[in-house]
Every structure is written in structure tokens, then in C-alpha cells.
Structure 1
Amino acid sequence: MAEADRAGTREETMAGNPAAIVFDVNETLSDMSPLADRFADVGAPPLLAKVWFASLLRDGFALAAAGDKQAFAYIGAEALRGLLPAKELNRDAEESVQHIMTALSGLKLHPDVPGGVRALKNAGYRLATLTNGSTGTAEKLFTDGGIRDQFDLLLSVEDAPAWKPAPASYHYASGVLGVPAGQLLLVAVHPWDIHGAARAGLHTAWLNRTGAQYPAYFSKPDYTLATLDELPGALAADC
């Protein structure tokens, strides 16, 4: 699988290594696959978990495009109320919603994350998050995973003008960190996040754990990685 390839198409280049690395959280660092079990618990098809998450993101993006914003958990719960097949559930609909939503606070890190994060911190990088989810969820995820002390800041669009991939979200992170956008590197598993960051002037690293094809209609990432622990070597090679 691929291999930390450096894209040669970006006009703007970092002067050396990035001043800070910003991470997406949901799916990029957290393993959301156990959510399928929560859907099965309440009698819903496990595959509905992916439909739900895609619907949640779609509606968050739509609100951002319209100049509005709602909390990740609020949209998630409302999306569940519309998606869960009420006649198939084995418990009350609202109880089913809460059973699924509470799973977000109990997710674990992907296996490659702790080592990759520590290696980047040991290499001297400032590390931060920029999530469409809540800071509290990231706080618990990292504390439970033993890497909370590796992050300088946990940032969320809760405090930004808009959700990612709106440019204002990435500019918010740039401002809080006190680092120009062109000196930031965003790490994400979602091509839409990579595209949004690139359009906002950031450099990007795409985590492609599944060997998927990157969509040609999005800005190409600067780095493509199979696992997070490949990133320190890729950055070192670019010095």
C-alpha cells in the first residue's frame, strides 16, 4: 500500500517542515467501526451506521454552506431520529438514539495513532486537533488512549465560524495557533477535508488506510500515507 508519496503539483511550499500539525479526529484518529454494533444492539441494520455518519456530515456541510452551524451531537441525534427504522427497533426510539450517541464517547484510537503521534511530538512538532466534533470527545479519546499530553491544543469548530471544510474553520485554527496557513499541515482520512484545507492554504496529508482511490475532483494531498506512523519519515525526507 502506498507509501508517503509527495505530490509535486502544489505551487506554495513550506519553508522546511510545518510549524504545526493539525489533525482531524473522527475516523482519522478514532476508530468508528464499533458504532455498527450499537445499531445492531437496537435492532437496526449495522450498515446503517455508515449511512448515518454520511448524513450527519452532509447536513453539517449544508448548514455551513447556508451560513449556519449546529453541534455535531445535535445533528447526529436528529439524523438518527430520521433514519432509524422504528418498526424494527427492539426498544423505544429515543432510547435507541441515546444508546448509539453515547458510543461516541467510548471510541478507541486506531492502532497506528499512538505511535505516530508520539513520533511526531518527539520530532519537535506542535500538535493540535481541528474537529467537527466536540473538544470533550477528543479529550476523552486521547486521555483514554494515553496521548493527551502529546497535543498542545484541542480545537473544535464549536468555537470556529463554520464547520470544515469551510475556509473559515481552517483560518480559525491558524489564528489560534498563531501560525500562517501555509505553515500548517492538516492530517485527515477524508478527502473532502484534505480539499478544504488545501483551498484554505494549508498543506495536507491523507491517511488512506483502506487503499481507496483519491477522488480526482479534489485537490491532491501533499502526502499520502497508509498509516500515521509513516508521516515522521515522510516529513524528514522532505527537509
Structure 2
Amino acid sequence: MPYPPSELSFLMRSGPAVIIFDVNETLSDMSVMGGRFAEIGAPPFLAKVWFAGVLRDGFALAAAGDRAQFVEIAAGLLRVSLAGLPLNRGVEEAVGHIMDGLAELALHPDVIAGVRDLKAAGFRLVTLSNGSSEMAGKLLGDAGIRDAFDALLSVEDGPAWKPAPGPYAHAARTCGVEPGQMLLAAVHPWDIHGAARAGMRTAWINRTDSPYPAYFTPPENIVGSLRDLAPLLHADTSHRFR
């Protein structure tokens, strides 16, 4: 049965119109990067340490009022991290091998179906990455779901890295909606916190069944798979009329 006009108006106001996705680790499966480090003779665990350092340095630059492109920080930190290790090739060649791996990442297994479910449910979909929009485009294009997204946004087009407030406001302006009409889906609690502080709704994708840090703003929704998000949002809006 169709909703009466008054209830339909309330539904449009209360539910998110746009789902905004983080890209690195949320959509892309970076677990394979450990293999790239092993192939150059470096410890596989260094992949996680390095990526955490890339985020740290990006955040530090943002806090200081500066910024640099993701690839610039990633490659520069690799040169620091790999210096002095007994690699099986030169440092510059090793850096190139790791950076090539970033460009060849695939999606998590739940992403394609989850994205299609959300698109079929009528949500507008966009990305907002601390990386480049070109990298996001290749990732989604290779998987055959680029056309599901209205826009691929990057902090390179905004004032700072997430979780500073600027990128979230930039995304809302670009999409022509209020922050409260957007829902950020991400695996990173720091991103959830930033989006919530910017007035957005949030969904934490917790694929590893990890505890959520108590010092960050808690997510409005928690799912173990992106496939669970569309049914959860549908149930949430349906519940408002019971």
C-alpha cells in the first residue's frame, strides 16, 4: 500500500538520500598488500604498519593546515619504511612494486552485491576518499559497478583529509543535499566519528567483528557485511511508521 502524502514526506526527510562510501579498506580489499611486501623481501606485517602511517601523516598534515596527495605520502613513507631492510631489489623498484599493488586492488566480496542492492533500493551512491578519484574509478570500473555511482569524490578536491569537517561538507554541497540526508558507510571508526560530527548519519561495516573504540562517536548502524545495509535501512524507515 502506498504511503499517504504526509507519511511519504516524513520518510523523505528522515531517511538518507545519499550513501557515501569511504574507499580504502571499506571497498578495496587491502589484505593482499602483505603479499606485495613479501615479494620484495620485506616482512608482510609491514603492510599494515605502513598504511597506518600513511593515514597518520595525512591526518598530521591536515591538523597543521597542510596537505599532500595520498600517493605522495604513500610513496614517501615507503622510502622511509624500507630503508635499511634486506630487500631483493633496489628501494625505488620496491616502492614501485608496492604502489603498483595499490592500483591493482580488488573489492571485498560483499561490495558488488551490496552496492547493487542499495542502488536498486533507490539511494544515490557516491564515494569520498582520502585517495584519488582516479584510483576509485579504476577499482569500481574493473568490478563493473562504476555506473552505480553518481560521483567519485576525493579530498584532493576539498580542503583537507577526512576526518576534518571540510571534506564532508564538500560532499554535501556537491550532492546538493544537507549533511543529515547523507549516510557515510566506512570500516574506519575515525571516519564514522568525523561524519557524525559533520551531521551525517553513519554505518560502520565491521567485517572482522571488532570492538568499537569508546572515545569515538558510536555509529548509528553496524553491519557485518555491506549486503546487510540495504535491508537494515529499509527496516529502519519502515519502523518509523509502526
- Per the shorter chain, which TM-score range? over 0.9
Contact 1:20 1:183 in 2 (8 A): yes
Quick one: distance in 2 between partners of 1:56 and 1:129? Answer: 20
Q: Partner of 1:6 in structure 2?
A: none
Amino acid at match of 1:129: T
For the pair 1:62 / 2:60, whether they are aligned, the reply is: yes
Q: Which amino acid aligns with 1:111?
A: P
The answer on whether the counterparts of 1:14 and 1:182 sit within 8 Å (CA) in structure 2 is no
Is the contact between residue 160 and residue 166 of structure 2 (CA under 8 Å) also seen in structure 1? yes
- Aligned counterpart, 2:145: 147
3-state DSSP of counterpart to 2:207? coil
Structure with more of its chain in helix, by fraction? 2
- Tell me the distance in 2 between the aligned counterparts of 1:55 and 1:210: 21
- 1:201 alignment partner in structure 2: 199
Structure 1 runs not aligned, ≥5 long: 1-12
* 2:227 equivalent among 213, 226, 229: 229
Give the aligned partner of residue 32 of structure 2.
34
Given that residues 42 and 85 in structure 2 are in contact (C-alpha distance below 8 angstroms), is that contact kept between their aligned partners in structure 1? no
The one-character-per-residue Cα deviations of 1:57-94 (angstroms, maximum 9, x if unpaired) are 00000000011110000000011111114341110001
Structure 2: how far apart are the matches of 1:25 and 1:220? 20
Take 2:193 and 2:78, find their aligned partners in 1: how far apart are those partners? 27
Shift of 1:162: 0.5
CA distance in 1, matches of 2:14, 2:142: 33
* Contact 2:21–2:185 (CA under 8 A) maintained in structure 1: yes
Distance 2:172 2:12 in 1: 15
CA distance in 2, matches of 1:132, 1:14: 30
Q: Which structure 2 segments of 5+ residues have no match?
A: 1-10, 238-242
Q: Distance in 2 between matches of 1:154 and 1:145?
A: 15
Flag as ranges the 4+ runs of structure 1 deviating above 6 A.
Answer: none
Give, in whole Å, the separation in 2 of the partners of 1:14 and 1:143.
Answer: 30
How far is 1:238 from its partner? 1.0
Cα distance in 2 for partners of 1:188, 1:94 equals: 32
RMSD: 1.1
Deviation at 1:178, TM superposition (A): 0.6
Partner of 1:7: none
SS in 2 for 1:186: strand
- Taking the aligned partners of 1:144 and 1:65, their CA distance within structure 2 comes to 34
Q: Which of these residues, 80, 83, 96, is aligned with residue 82 of structure 1? A: 80
Take 1:34 and 1:151, find their aligned partners in 2: how far apart are those partners? 25
In structure 1, the residue matched to 2:154 is 156
**Highest RCO, 1 vs 2 (Cα 8 Å, sep ≥ 6):** 1
What TM-score, normalized to structure 1? Answer: 0.93
